[in-house]
């Protein structure tokens, strides 16, 4: 079978990474490297005793213990040789031992846009109110990230009441940070040094900006007249502006250590946060298993304690099976656009205007009087034509481009746009135009140097003009903020896609989508990097960046609003409320599309775009019992001994079914449904249970099914009648192909309605997905 270029590149990347890891492990085997020793729940006296004995033994043997976990779960991070790690992994009280991984972060108007999107659904009675809760001051959002800039106006505590008495956290003193930096908004700050790295900050202060940005997106106080040097001007605010923030700095410029992530989970559980937001994770290429994934481990124990955990889906899209953070106890978030465009027009000498995208503060004159040249025509004698077409550094002749606007293709990743731009600038170019359909959808910054990004269709018009005249000319206009841009939302091209390779029978693809493109939020005040700070200007208080990192805190803000109104709801009930009330249409009242214009599927956006108010009153909830998560581990293939260690204490009479298989994961009481099995000859039936969480104690819901042609979907019963004494009811869904021509993967939805609420669950039926 012939392999595609993409497959070849993927295979090469795998082999290169595997070779590197083997060399790294060999180099470290004698000197020792940091391993995480995971021992399960902290509720078991046996676990605690074993933890103490093992820890004491390691300390006596002079092993360097980096972290000890003992609040939400037991274990430790310790420096070991490879042989020591292998030996320790055989201990009966240990679930897993694995090298300390390094994860990466998944990097104003958005809240107004979400409210507007919700308003389009009012006529359908899906949402009865557009009012966000005004008081959520007892809700504590814990954020694991790069730290925080406490002086930002987004973290002022004006008008906030006393800190909740249940808060058990702390504000750690550190480098350029002390307890006085915390207040009634920022109530806690911890840091975890990156052991074995050059990045030793000893402080919760943010040196990157990422953590400050996501914290203000989730719960920042309203700040009027916010902007990025006048771009995207307006009031910046978080989704739950009256919630409290607790920052756990687990990331440095070098990445996010798994051992620090687990330590932060352990502390956050003891601190009694309500919500945890993590805009970070592994790459899709090296997604770990559940018992070797610090995020999945920490999140499992946090959810056990009633803490809702929200994670970004990753930025490895748009390729399929790139979604990460896929454990069923995590709410996983994709990224979409909002109705705002940062337009930087290219004006040609024939006065034709090409609408481009960038954030630049060009000082070129408005008239198209600057010579325009394409990269091929400016080729240096030593360069290849293809290199010059793409404007590789040192591929262009300085004399040919001096004072001119250079037209460059950007359809590969050998060099970044910034590297190419710097090359054009250094050679005396007057400006640069890049051609890239994906980059056109996400604004790139160029400071005062004129730059714009256009799509391939417009590029053809530009080349046609260049070839039609002896002296082509143009100009690049400074960025203008365009609002009410249509269509919006669309799925960001970088947003990771489903299905999950490890859990094909769980519609984790991801769960929900939220704004993650060109988001304005708070920033660190000492950032002087060239692509952030405008020459001659002070560093900005707010910055515009994109990523599923930005979409994750949007959902955290919504979760905080729901939690404040429904403090007794479990994490699974909150997840259900968000997923079943999601938005499926854009601001044209048409189905949400991907970046390429095709209708988005659940593999792109999960249940849909998050509604900021719909989840406050969802009507019904799909609640997942703690034992269901243990059954998931059974179905996935874990043995009962490890499951007992992980859970701390098994429910009375619990055991793994004799015929456990991944097919049975379809029956986990998730708000969506996934079936990965050929249903051409035999049907597949799954079961779901819903709880009436509405104030109306007596109500009847009837079902509607949206199914593709050729797939028979039967729901029994087709009506659910709730009474004062009957709050929970179950139904079954049977899938059967009635036509052999049906595609390998099909999508649909099941919706329950009672005249007041619409409770929608997407489904996918696939016959060709690989198992774990």
How confident is the model over 583-595, as a mean pLDDT?
95
Are 288 and 394 part of one and the same domain? no
571 within domain boundaries: yes
Please pick, among 67, 127, 210, 595, the residue that the annotation labels catalytic: 210
| Beta strand pairing call for 308-312 and 331-336 | parallel
431, 455, 478 - which closes a domain: 478
Query: pLDDT (tens digit, 9 = 90+) per residue, 284-304?
Result: 887 788 889 999 999 999 999
pLDDT at 123: 45
Residue-wise pLDDT for 664-706, tens only, equals 999 999 999 999 877 777 889 999 999 999 988 899 999 999 9
Residue 15: which residues within 8 A CB-CB, separation 6 or more? none
Tokens of 320: 């399929």
What is the total count of domains within the chain? 5
Is pLDDT above 80 for 33? yes
Mean local confidence (pLDDT), 622-632: 94
- Residue 275: name the closest of 325, 219, 191 by CA: 219
Query: Among this protein's residues, is 345 annotated catalytic?
Result: no
Average pLDDT over every residue of 500-529: 88
Strands (DSSP E) found in 410-526: 431-435, 445-447, 451-454, 473-476, 480-483, 490-491, 512-515, 519-522
Residue 508 sits in the same domain as residue 556: yes
> What pLDDT is recorded for position 135?
55
The lowest-confidence range among 40-44, 262-266, 739-743 is: 739-743
Q: Which of 456, 478, 500 is the last residue of a domain?
A: 478
Is the confidence at residue 329, as pLDDT, over 90? yes
DSSP-based helix, strand, coil % in the chain, nearest 5 = 25, 30, 45
- Same-domain status, 331 and 351: no
576 is a domain residue: yes
Whether 25 has a pLDDT exceeding 80, the answer reads no
| The pLDDT of residue 528 is above 90 | no
Q: What's the CA gap between 574 and 245, in Å, rounded?
A: 19
Q: What is the mean pLDDT of the chain?
A: 88
Query: Given 546, 549, 576, 672, which residue is catalytic?
Result: 549
Residues 325 and 238 in one domain: yes
Higher pLDDT, 116 or 580: 580
Q: Give whole-number Cα distances, 185 to 220, 436, 554, 566, in Å.
A: 9, 42, 18, 21
Q: Quick one: pLDDT band at residue 501, thresholds 50, 70, 90? A: confident
549 a catalytic residue: yes
CB 229 within 8 A of CB 78: no
Instruction: Over range 557-572, report the average pLDDT.
Output: 95
DSSP, collapsed to helix, strand or coil, labels residue 11 as helix
The residue that leads in pLDDT, 526 or 117, is 526
The pLDDT assigned to 56 comes to 74
Average pLDDT over residues 621-636: 94
Average pLDDT over residues 620-643: 94
Please say if the pLDDT value at position 532 is more than 80: no
Domain presence at residue 655? no
Decide the pairing of beta strands 140-145 and 244-249.
parallel
Do residues 195 and 319 both lie within one domain? yes
Between 411 and 278, whose confidence is greater?
A: 278
Q: Are residues 83 and 134 in the same domain?
A: no
Tell me: do 675 and 752 sit in the same domain: yes
Q: Is 663 helix (H, G, I), strand (E, B) or coil?
A: helix
- Rounded CA-CA distance 166/59 in Å is 34
Query: What pLDDT score does 18 carry?
Result: 41
Q: Give CA–CA dist 73/261, Å, rounded.
A: 13
Q: What is the pLDDT of residue 19?
A: 43
Could you tell me which of 76, 78, 106 has the C-alpha nearest to residue 266? 76
Claim to verify: residue 56 and residue 1 sit in the same structural domain: no
> pLDDT, tens digit, for every residue of 707-725?
999 899 999 999 999 999 9
Residue 43: how many other CB atoms lie within 10 Å: 15
Comparing 32 with 236, the larger pLDDT belongs to 236
Residue-by-residue DSSP string for 159-198: T--PPPTT----B--BTTB-GGG--SSEEEEEE---TTSS
445 — pLDDT class (breaks 50, 70, 90): very high
CATH of the domain at 411: 3.50.30.30
Q: Are strands 255-257 and 102-105 parallel, antiparallel or unpaired?
A: antiparallel
Residues 42 and 135 in one domain: no
Query: How confident is the model at residue 279, as a pLDDT?
Result: 96
195 and 219 co-located in one domain: yes
In this predicted structure, which of 390-399, 525-534, 597-606 has the lowest mean pLDDT?
A: 525-534
In contact, 769 and 676? CB cutoff 8 Å: yes
Q: Does 84 fall in a domain?
A: yes
- Please tell me the distance from the alpha carbon of residue 218 to that of residue 277, in angstroms, as a whole number: 9
| Residue 637 domain flag | no
In the block, tokens 């980096």 appear at 66
Please check whether residue 645 lies inside any domain of the structure: no
Could you tell me what percent of the chain has a pLDDT over 70? Answer: 88
282 carries an active-site annotation: no
- Choose one of 578, 600, 616: the last residue of a domain: 616
Domain for residue 67, yes or no? yes
Integer Cα distance of 155 and 204 in angstroms:
15
What does the pLDDT read at residue 734? 96
CB 261 within 8 A of CB 144: yes
Specify the pLDDT at position 398.
95
CB 486 within 8 A of CB 588: yes
d(CA 538, CA 559): 35
Residue 362, both tokens: 């060009």
Arithmetic mean of pLDDT, 262-274: 97
The enclosing domain of 691 has a CATH number of 2.60.40.2310
Tell how strand 699-706 and strand 719-722 pair up.
Answer: antiparallel
For the cut 60, the answer to whether the pLDDT of residue 651 exceeds it is yes
CATH code of the domain containing 82:
3.30.70.80
Q: Which strands form 73-80's sheet, in the order they lie side by side? A: 65-69, 73-80, 33-41, 96-99
Q: Choose among 678, 638, 682: nearest CA to 656.
A: 638
On whether both 262 and 392 belong to a single domain, the answer is: no
- How many Cα atoms within 13 Å fall on the side-chain side of residue 384? 3
pLDDT at 604: 96
In this predicted structure, what is the pLDDT of residue 120? 59
Residue 133 — pLDDT band, cuts 50, 70, 90?
Answer: low
Amino acid 165: pLDDT: 95
Q: What is the pLDDT of residue 137?
A: 65
DSSP string of 90-114, one letter each residue: TSTT-SEEEE--EEEE---HHHHHH
Range of the domain at 521: 104-339+489-616
Q: What is the pTM of this model?
A: 0.91
The pLDDT assigned to 415 comes to 93
63's CB contacts (< 8 A; 6+ apart) are: 32, 78, 79, 80, 84
pLDDT of residue 161: 93
Tell whether 8 and 67 lie within a shared domain.
no
Answer yes or no: are the C-beta atoms of 587 and 487 closer than 8 Å: yes
In a domain, 636, yes or no: no
Q: Kindly report, residue by residue over 384-430, the tens digit of the pLDDT.
A: 999 999 999 999 999 999 999 999 999 888 899 999 999 999 999 99
The pLDDT tens digits of the residues spanning 78-104 come to 999 898 899 888 888 899 999 999 988
Spatial separation of the C-alpha atoms in residues 700 and 512, rounded to whole Å:
27
Cβ atoms of residues 615 and 7 within 8 Å: no
C-alpha distance from residue 670 to each of 108, 563, 676 (Å): 32, 19, 15
Domain of 224, CATH number, reads 3.40.50.200
Active-site residue among 145, 271, 345, 437?
145
Cβ pair 560, 274 in contact under 8 A: yes
Among 363, 364, 343, smallest CA distance to 353 is for 343
Q: Which two tokens stand for residue 203?
A: 């402080």
The edge-to-edge listing of strands for the beta sheet with 280-281 is: 251-252, 255-257, 102-105, 280-281
Stretch 745-756: mean pLDDT? 95
What is the per-residue pLDDT for 769? Answer: 44
């Amino acid at each position: 079978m012939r392999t595609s270029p993409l497959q070849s590149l993927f295979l090469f990347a795998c082999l290169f990474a595997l070779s590197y890891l083997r060399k790294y492990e060999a180099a470290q085997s004698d000197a020792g490297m940091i391993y995480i020793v995971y021992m399960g729940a902290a509720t078991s006296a046996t676990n605690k005793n074993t933890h103490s004995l093992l820890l004491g033994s390691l300390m006596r043997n002079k092993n360097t213990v980096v972290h000890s976990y003992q609040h939400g779960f037991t274990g430790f991070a310790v420096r070991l040789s490879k042989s020591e790690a292998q030996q320790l992994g055989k201990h009966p009280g240990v679930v897993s031992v694995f090298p300390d991984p390094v994860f990466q972060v998944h990097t104003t108007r958005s809240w107004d846009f979400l409210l507007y999107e919700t308003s389009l659904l009012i006529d359908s009675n899906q949402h009865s109110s557009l009012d966000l809760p005004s008081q959520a001051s007892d809700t504590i959002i814990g954020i694991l990230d790069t730290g925080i800039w406490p002086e930002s106006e987004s973290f002022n505590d004006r008008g906030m009441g006393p800190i909740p008495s249940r808060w058990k956290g702390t504000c750690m003193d550190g480098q350029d940070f002390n307890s006085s930096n915390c207040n009634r908004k920022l109530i806690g700050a911890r840091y975890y040094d990156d052991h074995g790295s050059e990045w030793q900050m000893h402080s919760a202060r943010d040196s990157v900006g990422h953590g400050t940005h996501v914290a203000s997106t989730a719960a920042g106080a309203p700040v009027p007249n916010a902007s990025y040097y006048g771009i995207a001007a307006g009031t910046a605010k978080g989704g739950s502006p009256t919630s409290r923030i607790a920052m756990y700095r687990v990331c440095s410029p070098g990445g996010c250590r798994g051992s620090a992530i687990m330590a932060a989970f352990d502390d956050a559980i003891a601190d009694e946060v309500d919500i945890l937001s993590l805009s970070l994770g592994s790459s899709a290429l090296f997604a770990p298993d559940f018992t070797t994934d610090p995020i999945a481990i920490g999140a499992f124990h946090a959810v056990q304690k009633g803490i809702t955990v929200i994670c970004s889906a990753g930025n490895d899209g748009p390729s399929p099976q790139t979604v990460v953070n896929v454990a069923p106890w995590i709410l996983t978030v994709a990224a979409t656009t909002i109705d705002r465009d940062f337009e930087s027009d290219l004006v040609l000498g024939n006065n034709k205007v090409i609408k481009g995208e960038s954030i630049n503060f060009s000082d070129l004159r408005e008239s198209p009087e600057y010579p325009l040249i394409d990269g091929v025509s400016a080729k240096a004698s030593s360069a290849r034509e293809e290199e010059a077409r793409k404007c590789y550094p040192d591929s262009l002749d300085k004399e040919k481009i001096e004072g001119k606007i250079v037209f460059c293709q950007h359809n590969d990743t050998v060099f970044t746009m910034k590297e190419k731009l710097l090359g054009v600038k250094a050679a005396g170019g007057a400006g640069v135009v890049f051609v890239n359909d994906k980059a056109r959808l996400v604004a790139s910054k160029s400071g005062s140097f004129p730059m714009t990004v256009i799509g391939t269709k417009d590029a053809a018009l530009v080349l046609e003009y260049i070839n039609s005249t002896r002296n082509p000319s143009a100009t690049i206009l400074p960025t203008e903020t365009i609002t009410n841009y249509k269509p919006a939302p669309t799925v960001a091209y970088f947003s990771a896609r489903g299905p999950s390779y490890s859990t094909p029978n769980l519609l984790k693809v991801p769960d929900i989508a939220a704004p993650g493109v060109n988001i304005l939020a708070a920033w660190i005040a000492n950032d002087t990097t060239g692509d952030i700070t405008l020459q001659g200007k002070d560093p900005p208080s707010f910055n515009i960046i994109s990523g599923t990192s930005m979409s994750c805190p949007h959902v955290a803000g919504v979760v905080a609003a729901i939690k404040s109104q429904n403090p007794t709801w479990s994490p699974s009930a909150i997840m259900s409320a968000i997923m079943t009330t999601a938005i499926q249409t854009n601001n044209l009242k048409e189905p949400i599309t991907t970046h390429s214009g095709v209708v988005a599927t659940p593999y792109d956006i999960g249940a849909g775009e998050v509604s900021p108010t719909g989840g406050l009153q969802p009507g019904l909830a799909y609640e997942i019992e703690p034992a269901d998560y243990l059954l998931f581990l059974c179905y996935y293939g874990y043995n009962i001994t490890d499951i007992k260690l992980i859970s701390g204490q098994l429910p009375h009479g619990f055991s793994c079914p004799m015929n456990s298989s991944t097919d049975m994961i379809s029956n986990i009481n998730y708000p969506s449904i996934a079936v990965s099995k050929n249903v051409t000859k035999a049907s597949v039936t799954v079961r779901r249970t819903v709880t009436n969480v509405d104030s109306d104690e007596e109500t009847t819901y009837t079902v509607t099914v949206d199914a593709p042609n050729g797939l028979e979907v039967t729901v029994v019963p087709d009506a659910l009648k709730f009474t004062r004494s009957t709050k929970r009811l179950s139904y079954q869904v049977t899938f059967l192909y009635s036509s052999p021509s049906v595609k390998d993967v099909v999508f649909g939805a099941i919706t329950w309605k009672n005249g007041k609420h619409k409770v929608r669950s997407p489904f996918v039926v696939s016959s060709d997905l690989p198992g774990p």
